[in-house]
Amino acid sequence: MKMKKIILIIVLSVLFLSTQAQKVYSVKYESQADVKVYVVTYESQADLKVYKVTYESQAVGNSGKWFFTNYESQAKKKIYFVDDESQADLKIYFVTYESQAGWLNREKMHLMY
């Protein structure tokens, strides 16, 4: 019986984490942001490779597939694009193909949960 509870908790946890879409909203002011983001020039400089999806349903888990919402209240995370790399919490690189999206620096994953 105890083992069934543990398995149930694990399954529910995995389902919960995998259903959190990366819905982001770009705020106008740094003070409004949950995460400050800098767009790097080269993929190798990034913590996260981001693919901008067209539909919310395409943004699955914490995988680098971002859906930019029209309203702040719809977003899971509010981001602010900084001009200087040293100001950033997270460095990203926008990729061309969905399959390229993903984390290069897993130590920063917590920023997007």
Q: Where are the domains of the chain?
A: 21-112
Chain mean pLDDT for the chain: 88
Confidence of residue 4 (pLDDT cuts 50, 70, 90): low
pLDDT at position 18 is 43
Q: pLDDT, tens digit, for every residue of 24-78? A: 999 999 999 999 999 999 999 999 999 999 998 888 788 999 999 999 999 999 9
Task: Label residue 106 exposed, middle or buried (CB < 10 Å: 0-12, 13-18, 19+).
Answer: exposed
**pTM attached to this predicted model:** 0.80
Q: Determine the Cα–Cα distance for residues 112 and 48; give it in Å rounded to an integer.
A: 10
